[in-house]
Structure 1
Protein backbone atom coordinates (compact mmCIF):
# COMPACT_ATOMS: atom_id res chain seq x y z
CA UNK A 1 0.00 0.00 0.00
CA UNK A 2 2.84 2.34 0.88
CA UNK A 3 4.43 1.81 -2.56
CA UNK A 4 1.12 2.47 -4.33
CA UNK A 5 0.73 5.72 -2.42
CA UNK A 6 4.19 6.95 -3.44
CA UNK A 7 3.61 5.76 -6.99
CA UNK A 8 0.40 7.78 -7.28
CA UNK A 9 2.13 10.88 -5.89
CA UNK A 10 4.97 10.51 -8.40
CA UNK A 11 2.53 10.01 -11.28
CA UNK A 12 0.51 13.06 -10.25
CA UNK A 13 3.68 15.16 -10.01
CA UNK A 14 4.74 14.12 -13.51
CA UNK A 15 1.32 15.03 -14.86
CA UNK A 16 1.61 18.51 -13.32
CA UNK A 17 5.04 19.01 -14.93
CA UNK A 18 3.73 17.93 -18.34
CA UNK A 19 0.69 20.22 -18.07
CA UNK A 20 2.88 23.17 -17.07
CA UNK A 21 5.21 22.56 -20.03
CA UNK A 22 2.25 22.43 -22.43
CA UNK A 23 0.82 25.69 -21.05
CA UNK A 24 4.12 27.58 -21.26
CA UNK A 25 4.88 26.42 -24.79
CA UNK A 26 1.30 27.08 -25.85
CA UNK A 27 1.62 30.71 -24.73
CA UNK A 28 4.91 31.06 -26.61
CA UNK A 29 3.38 29.57 -29.75
CA UNK A 30 0.40 31.93 -29.55
CA UNK A 31 2.72 34.89 -28.96
CA UNK A 32 4.85 34.02 -31.99
CA UNK A 33 1.75 33.52 -34.11
CA UNK A 34 0.39 36.90 -32.99
CA UNK A 35 3.68 38.62 -33.80
CA UNK A 36 3.77 37.09 -37.26
CA UNK A 37 0.16 38.11 -37.90
CA UNK A 38 0.87 41.67 -36.74
CA UNK A 39 4.01 41.86 -38.89
CA UNK A 40 2.10 40.68 -41.96
CA UNK A 41 -0.72 43.18 -41.34
CA UNK A 42 1.78 46.02 -40.79
CA UNK A 43 3.62 45.29 -44.04
CA UNK A 44 0.31 45.25 -45.93
CA UNK A 45 -0.57 48.69 -44.49
CA UNK A 46 2.85 50.10 -45.49
CA UNK A 47 2.49 48.78 -49.03
CA UNK A 48 -1.00 50.30 -49.34
CA UNK A 49 0.23 53.69 -48.00
CA UNK A 50 3.17 53.79 -50.44
CA UNK A 51 0.88 52.98 -53.35
CA UNK A 52 -1.58 55.71 -52.31
CA UNK A 53 1.23 58.29 -51.84
CA UNK A 54 2.64 57.47 -55.26
CA UNK A 55 -0.76 57.93 -56.90
CA UNK A 56 -1.13 61.32 -55.12
CA UNK A 57 2.29 62.77 -55.98
CA UNK A 58 2.56 61.67 -59.61
CA UNK A 59 -0.62 63.42 -60.87
CA UNK A 60 0.48 66.61 -59.08
CA UNK A 61 3.82 66.56 -60.87
CA UNK A 62 2.13 65.73 -64.17
CA UNK A 63 -0.14 68.78 -63.79
CA UNK A 64 2.88 71.15 -63.64
CA UNK A 65 2.62 71.74 -59.89
CA UNK A 66 6.00 72.21 -58.25
CA UNK A 67 6.39 69.48 -55.64
CA UNK A 68 9.17 68.40 -53.33
CA UNK A 69 10.38 64.81 -53.19
CA UNK A 70 8.11 64.13 -50.22
CA UNK A 71 5.11 65.49 -52.10
CA UNK A 72 4.84 68.78 -50.15
CA UNK A 73 4.25 71.97 -52.13
CA UNK A 74 7.07 74.50 -52.07
CA UNK A 75 6.79 77.28 -49.50
CA UNK A 76 5.73 80.59 -51.03
CA UNK A 77 6.98 84.06 -50.02
CA UNK A 78 4.75 86.16 -47.79
CA UNK A 79 5.73 89.34 -49.64
CA UNK A 80 5.38 89.38 -53.42
CA UNK A 81 7.82 92.16 -54.30
CA UNK A 82 8.47 93.43 -57.79
CA UNK A 83 12.08 93.81 -58.96
CA UNK A 84 12.30 97.48 -57.99
CA UNK A 85 11.07 96.89 -54.44
CA UNK A 86 13.27 93.82 -54.01
CA UNK A 87 16.40 95.66 -55.12
CA UNK A 88 15.55 98.66 -52.95
CA UNK A 89 15.13 96.38 -49.93
CA UNK A 90 18.49 94.73 -50.60
CA UNK A 91 20.26 98.07 -50.88
CA UNK A 92 18.73 99.70 -47.80
CA UNK A 93 19.49 96.63 -45.68
CA UNK A 94 23.09 96.59 -46.89
CA UNK A 95 23.47 100.34 -46.37
CA UNK A 96 21.93 100.35 -42.88
CA UNK A 97 23.23 97.02 -41.57
CA UNK A 98 26.24 96.06 -43.67
CA UNK A 99 28.33 95.66 -40.52
CA UNK A 100 25.71 93.63 -38.64
CA UNK A 101 25.33 89.85 -38.60
CA UNK A 102 22.58 88.14 -40.57
CA UNK A 103 19.98 88.62 -37.84
CA UNK A 104 20.89 92.29 -37.61
CA UNK A 105 20.25 92.58 -41.34
CA UNK A 106 17.01 90.62 -40.99
CA UNK A 107 15.80 93.09 -38.37
CA UNK A 108 16.29 96.06 -40.70
CA UNK A 109 14.39 94.25 -43.45
CA UNK A 110 11.64 93.46 -40.92
CA UNK A 111 11.27 97.14 -40.01
CA UNK A 112 10.90 98.17 -43.66
CA UNK A 113 8.29 95.46 -44.29
CA UNK A 114 6.50 96.32 -41.03
CA UNK A 115 6.13 99.85 -42.38
CA UNK A 116 4.72 98.51 -45.65
CA UNK A 117 2.09 96.68 -43.58
CA UNK A 118 1.34 99.71 -41.40
CA UNK A 119 -1.45 102.15 -42.23
CA UNK A 120 0.70 105.14 -41.23
CA UNK A 121 3.39 104.46 -43.85
CA UNK A 122 3.36 104.03 -47.66
CA UNK A 123 2.35 100.72 -49.22
CA UNK A 124 5.49 99.69 -51.09
CA UNK A 125 9.11 99.13 -50.13
CA UNK A 126 10.41 101.80 -52.49
CA UNK A 127 7.94 104.39 -51.21
CA UNK A 128 8.78 103.53 -47.59
CA UNK A 129 12.53 103.80 -48.14
CA UNK A 130 12.36 107.08 -50.06
CA UNK A 131 9.59 108.63 -47.97
CA UNK A 132 10.10 112.22 -46.87
CA UNK A 133 8.32 113.66 -43.86
CA UNK A 134 8.43 117.43 -43.55
CA UNK A 135 11.08 117.31 -46.24
CA UNK A 136 13.30 114.92 -44.27
CA UNK A 137 14.23 111.43 -45.51
CA UNK A 138 13.48 108.55 -43.15
CA UNK A 139 16.71 106.64 -43.80
CA UNK A 140 20.16 108.22 -43.61
CA UNK A 141 21.62 106.20 -46.54
CA UNK A 142 19.07 107.93 -48.76
CA UNK A 143 20.24 111.33 -47.50
CA UNK A 144 23.95 110.75 -48.07
CA UNK A 145 23.56 108.54 -51.16
CA UNK A 146 25.10 105.40 -49.65
CA UNK A 147 22.08 103.40 -50.81
CA UNK A 148 23.31 103.81 -54.39
CA UNK A 149 26.93 102.90 -53.68
CA UNK A 150 26.64 99.68 -51.70
CA UNK A 151 27.57 96.24 -52.97
CA UNK A 152 24.98 93.79 -51.70
CA UNK A 153 26.51 90.80 -49.89
CA UNK A 154 25.31 87.21 -49.99
CA UNK A 155 24.48 87.45 -46.28
CA UNK A 156 22.22 90.43 -46.97
CA UNK A 157 20.46 88.46 -49.70
CA UNK A 158 19.88 85.60 -47.26
CA UNK A 159 18.53 87.96 -44.60
CA UNK A 160 16.16 89.64 -47.05
CA UNK A 161 15.02 86.25 -48.32
CA UNK A 162 14.18 85.21 -44.76
CA UNK A 163 12.15 88.38 -44.27
CA UNK A 164 10.30 87.98 -47.57
CA UNK A 165 9.35 84.43 -46.60
CA UNK A 166 7.81 85.70 -43.38
CA UNK A 167 10.49 85.37 -40.71
CA UNK A 168 10.04 88.30 -38.33
CA UNK A 169 12.08 88.77 -35.15
CA UNK A 170 11.41 92.50 -34.81
CA UNK A 171 8.53 92.41 -32.29
CA UNK A 172 6.66 94.73 -34.66
CA UNK A 173 9.28 97.49 -34.63
CA UNK A 174 8.69 100.42 -36.98
CA UNK A 175 11.84 102.38 -36.18
CA UNK A 176 15.50 101.69 -35.49
CA UNK A 177 18.43 103.93 -34.73
CA UNK A 178 22.14 103.70 -34.02
CA UNK A 179 22.30 105.80 -30.84
CA UNK A 180 26.04 106.41 -31.09
CA UNK A 181 25.69 107.83 -34.59
CA UNK A 182 22.82 110.22 -33.84
CA UNK A 183 22.98 113.66 -32.28
CA UNK A 184 21.59 113.87 -28.75
CA UNK A 185 18.74 116.23 -29.67
CA UNK A 186 17.53 113.88 -32.43
CA UNK A 187 17.81 110.88 -30.12
CA UNK A 188 15.51 112.60 -27.65
CA UNK A 189 12.66 112.33 -30.15
CA UNK A 190 12.97 108.52 -30.16
CA UNK A 191 13.14 108.35 -26.37
CA UNK A 192 10.20 110.70 -25.79
CA UNK A 193 7.76 109.70 -28.51
CA UNK A 194 8.39 105.99 -29.10
CA UNK A 195 8.45 102.78 -27.10
CA UNK A 196 11.88 101.17 -26.94
CA UNK A 197 11.54 97.45 -27.64
CA UNK A 198 15.08 96.06 -27.59
CA UNK A 199 18.63 96.54 -28.81
CA UNK A 200 20.52 94.27 -31.19
CA UNK A 201 24.01 94.83 -32.52
CA UNK A 202 24.51 98.53 -33.10
CA UNK A 203 20.81 99.37 -33.37
CA UNK A 204 17.97 100.05 -30.95
CA UNK A 205 14.46 99.19 -32.11
CA UNK A 206 11.28 101.11 -31.31
CA UNK A 207 7.57 100.65 -31.81
Structure 2
Protein backbone atom coordinates (compact mmCIF):
# COMPACT_ATOMS: atom_id res chain seq x y z
CA UNK A 1 0.00 0.00 0.00
CA UNK A 2 2.85 2.38 0.86
CA UNK A 3 4.48 1.73 -2.51
CA UNK A 4 1.20 2.47 -4.30
CA UNK A 5 0.70 5.67 -2.27
CA UNK A 6 4.29 6.77 -2.95
CA UNK A 7 3.88 6.05 -6.66
CA UNK A 8 0.63 8.05 -6.78
CA UNK A 9 2.25 10.98 -4.93
CA UNK A 10 5.18 10.95 -7.36
CA UNK A 11 2.79 10.93 -10.32
CA UNK A 12 0.75 13.87 -8.93
CA UNK A 13 3.92 15.87 -8.19
CA UNK A 14 5.30 15.20 -11.70
CA UNK A 15 1.97 16.18 -13.28
CA UNK A 16 1.82 19.45 -11.31
CA UNK A 17 5.44 20.27 -12.21
CA UNK A 18 4.82 19.53 -15.90
CA UNK A 19 1.65 21.65 -15.88
CA UNK A 20 3.48 24.55 -14.20
CA UNK A 21 6.32 24.24 -16.75
CA UNK A 22 3.88 24.38 -19.68
CA UNK A 23 2.07 27.38 -18.15
CA UNK A 24 5.41 29.15 -17.62
CA UNK A 25 6.20 28.72 -21.34
CA UNK A 26 2.81 30.07 -22.47
CA UNK A 27 2.81 33.72 -23.51
CA UNK A 28 0.01 35.77 -22.00
CA UNK A 29 -1.38 38.99 -23.46
CA UNK A 30 -3.53 41.55 -21.64
CA UNK A 31 -6.00 43.18 -24.02
CA UNK A 32 -5.52 46.94 -24.44
CA UNK A 33 -8.07 49.50 -25.70
CA UNK A 34 -8.63 49.29 -29.46
CA UNK A 35 -7.09 45.83 -29.88
CA UNK A 36 -8.81 43.11 -31.89
CA UNK A 37 -8.06 39.44 -32.44
CA UNK A 38 -6.66 40.45 -35.84
CA UNK A 39 -4.18 43.02 -34.46
CA UNK A 40 -3.11 40.71 -31.64
CA UNK A 41 -2.62 37.75 -34.01
CA UNK A 42 -0.52 39.89 -36.36
CA UNK A 43 1.63 41.31 -33.54
CA UNK A 44 2.49 37.80 -32.26
CA UNK A 45 2.77 36.13 -35.71
CA UNK A 46 0.03 33.62 -34.93
CA UNK A 47 -3.17 32.55 -36.64
CA UNK A 48 -6.30 34.46 -35.67
CA UNK A 49 -8.29 31.20 -35.65
CA UNK A 50 -5.70 29.45 -33.49
CA UNK A 51 -5.71 32.41 -31.07
CA UNK A 52 -9.51 32.21 -30.78
CA UNK A 53 -9.46 28.41 -30.40
CA UNK A 54 -6.77 28.46 -27.71
CA UNK A 55 -8.82 30.95 -25.70
CA UNK A 56 -12.13 29.15 -26.38
CA UNK A 57 -13.70 32.22 -27.99
CA UNK A 58 -16.75 31.81 -30.18
CA UNK A 59 -17.03 35.51 -31.06
CA UNK A 60 -14.75 38.46 -31.81
CA UNK A 61 -15.65 40.25 -28.57
CA UNK A 62 -12.68 41.24 -26.39
CA UNK A 63 -12.65 43.20 -23.12
CA UNK A 64 -9.92 45.62 -22.04
CA UNK A 65 -7.75 43.88 -19.43
CA UNK A 66 -8.84 40.41 -20.51
CA UNK A 67 -6.07 37.80 -20.49
CA UNK A 68 -5.37 35.81 -23.65
CA UNK A 69 -3.02 32.87 -24.02
CA UNK A 70 -0.90 33.19 -27.17
CA UNK A 71 -0.22 30.12 -29.35
CA UNK A 72 3.35 29.19 -30.30
CA UNK A 73 4.42 31.64 -33.03
CA UNK A 74 6.17 30.82 -36.29
CA UNK A 75 9.93 31.08 -35.78
CA UNK A 76 11.84 34.05 -37.14
CA UNK A 77 13.91 31.69 -39.34
CA UNK A 78 10.74 30.27 -40.96
CA UNK A 79 9.29 33.76 -41.34
CA UNK A 80 12.51 34.92 -43.07
CA UNK A 81 12.51 31.91 -45.40
CA UNK A 82 8.85 32.41 -46.29
CA UNK A 83 9.42 36.14 -46.92
CA UNK A 84 12.32 35.33 -49.27
CA UNK A 85 10.10 32.90 -51.18
CA UNK A 86 7.29 35.47 -51.41
CA UNK A 87 9.76 38.12 -52.61
CA UNK A 88 11.14 35.83 -55.31
CA UNK A 89 7.82 34.33 -56.45
CA UNK A 90 5.65 37.45 -56.35
CA UNK A 91 8.00 40.28 -57.28
CA UNK A 92 5.92 42.89 -59.12
CA UNK A 93 2.62 41.34 -58.03
CA UNK A 94 0.01 43.23 -55.96
CA UNK A 95 0.21 42.96 -52.17
CA UNK A 96 -2.81 40.58 -52.12
CA UNK A 97 -0.92 38.27 -54.48
CA UNK A 98 2.07 38.22 -52.14
CA UNK A 99 -0.20 37.35 -49.21
CA UNK A 100 -1.76 34.58 -51.31
CA UNK A 101 1.66 33.06 -52.16
CA UNK A 102 2.54 32.91 -48.45
CA UNK A 103 -0.91 31.47 -47.74
CA UNK A 104 -0.30 28.63 -50.21
CA UNK A 105 2.77 27.58 -48.23
CA UNK A 106 0.89 27.74 -44.90
CA UNK A 107 -2.04 25.81 -46.40
CA UNK A 108 0.37 23.10 -47.52
CA UNK A 109 1.85 22.89 -44.01
CA UNK A 110 -1.68 22.33 -42.67
CA UNK A 111 -2.67 19.84 -45.42
CA UNK A 112 -2.07 16.08 -44.93
CA UNK A 113 -0.65 15.60 -48.47
CA UNK A 114 2.30 17.94 -47.87
CA UNK A 115 5.18 18.18 -45.37
CA UNK A 116 4.27 19.73 -42.02
CA UNK A 117 6.83 22.54 -41.67
CA UNK A 118 7.42 25.70 -43.68
CA UNK A 119 11.01 24.70 -44.43
CA UNK A 120 10.01 21.22 -45.62
CA UNK A 121 7.23 22.59 -47.84
CA UNK A 122 9.51 25.17 -49.44
CA UNK A 123 12.34 22.69 -50.07
CA UNK A 124 10.10 19.77 -51.10
CA UNK A 125 11.32 17.90 -54.19
CA UNK A 126 9.44 15.75 -56.63
CA UNK A 127 10.86 14.13 -59.73
CA UNK A 128 14.19 15.91 -59.26
CA UNK A 129 12.59 19.36 -59.15
CA UNK A 130 11.79 21.65 -56.25
CA UNK A 131 8.17 22.64 -55.72
CA UNK A 132 9.06 26.34 -56.06
CA UNK A 133 11.16 27.78 -58.90
CA UNK A 134 13.13 30.21 -56.66
CA UNK A 135 14.56 27.24 -54.77
CA UNK A 136 15.59 25.62 -58.07
CA UNK A 137 17.24 28.79 -59.47
CA UNK A 138 18.69 30.16 -56.20
CA UNK A 139 16.50 33.29 -56.00
CA UNK A 140 15.34 32.06 -52.56
CA UNK A 141 18.76 33.10 -51.20
CA UNK A 142 18.23 36.80 -51.98
CA UNK A 143 16.94 39.06 -49.20
CA UNK A 144 13.25 39.88 -48.99
CA UNK A 145 11.89 43.41 -48.98
CA UNK A 146 9.66 44.89 -46.27
CA UNK A 147 6.49 44.30 -48.29
CA UNK A 148 7.24 40.54 -48.45
CA UNK A 149 7.56 40.47 -44.65
CA UNK A 150 4.28 42.36 -44.28
CA UNK A 151 2.62 39.87 -46.64
CA UNK A 152 3.92 36.96 -44.56
CA UNK A 153 2.61 38.56 -41.34
CA UNK A 154 -0.79 39.04 -42.97
CA UNK A 155 -0.85 35.44 -44.24
CA UNK A 156 0.07 34.07 -40.81
CA UNK A 157 -2.75 36.00 -39.13
CA UNK A 158 -5.10 35.01 -42.00
CA UNK A 159 -4.11 31.31 -41.72
CA UNK A 160 -7.10 28.99 -42.02
CA UNK A 161 -9.53 31.70 -43.16
CA UNK A 162 -9.00 31.57 -46.94
CA UNK A 163 -10.32 29.38 -49.73
CA UNK A 164 -7.74 26.62 -49.26
CA UNK A 165 -5.39 27.38 -52.16
CA UNK A 166 -2.57 24.82 -52.41
CA UNK A 167 -1.08 25.84 -55.76
CA UNK A 168 -0.44 28.91 -57.86
CA UNK A 169 0.82 29.43 -61.39
CA UNK A 170 1.22 32.01 -64.11
CA UNK A 171 -1.11 30.95 -66.96
CA UNK A 172 1.19 32.64 -69.51
CA UNK A 173 4.16 30.44 -68.58
CA UNK A 174 2.71 27.27 -67.01
CA UNK A 175 3.03 24.27 -69.29
CA UNK A 176 1.51 21.63 -67.00
CA UNK A 177 -1.97 20.47 -67.96
CA UNK A 178 -2.31 18.96 -64.48
CA UNK A 179 -1.93 22.36 -62.74
CA UNK A 180 -4.46 23.87 -65.13
CA UNK A 181 -6.94 21.12 -64.22
CA UNK A 182 -7.02 22.16 -60.53
CA UNK A 183 -10.05 24.03 -59.17
CA UNK A 184 -9.35 27.78 -59.35
CA UNK A 185 -9.89 29.61 -56.06
CA UNK A 186 -8.88 33.15 -57.07
CA UNK A 187 -6.90 35.08 -59.68
CA UNK A 188 -4.64 37.86 -58.39
CA UNK A 189 -2.38 39.79 -60.72
CA UNK A 190 -0.51 37.35 -62.97
CA UNK A 191 -1.13 34.33 -60.75
CA UNK A 192 -3.95 31.81 -60.70
CA UNK A 193 -4.46 30.17 -57.29
CA UNK A 194 -6.01 26.73 -57.09
CA UNK A 195 -6.67 23.70 -54.89
Which range, TM-score by smaller chain?
0.5 to 0.7
**Bigger strand fraction:** 2
Corresponding position: 1:138 with 2:108 = no
Corresponding position: 1:70 with 2:33 = yes
Match for residue 170 of structure 2?
178
Q: 1:69 to 1:190 in 2, by over 3 A?
A: closer
TM-score, normalization by structure 2: 0.64
The RMSD of aligned alpha carbons is 2.4
Shift of 1:198: 2.5
Residues 39-65 of structure 1, C-alpha deviation per residue, up to 9 Å, x if partnerless? xxxxxxxxxxxxxxxxxxxxxxxxx95
* 5+ residue gaps, structure 1: 1-63
1:1-207 alignment runs, 5 A limit? 66-70=29-33, 75-76=40-41, 77-78=46-47, 80-149=73-142, 151-166=143-158, 170-182=162-174, 184=175, 186=176, 188-192=177-181, 194-207=182-195
* 5+ residue gaps, structure 2: 1-26, 48-71
**Bigger helix fraction:** 1
How far apart are the structure 1 equivalents of 2:124 and 2:186? 25
Report SS of the residue matched to 1:160. helix
TM-score, normalization by structure 1: 0.60
Residues 92-119 of structure 1, C-alpha deviation per residue, up to 9 Å, x if partnerless? 0111012112111000011000000000
Shift of 1:71: 8.5
How far apart are the structure 1 equivalents of 2:171 and 2:97? 15
How far apart are the structure 1 equivalents of 2:28 and 2:108? 33
How far apart are the structure 2 equivalents of 1:190 and 1:72? 41
Aligned residues: 139
The one of the two structures with greater contact order (alpha-carbon pairs below 8 A, sep at least 6) is 2
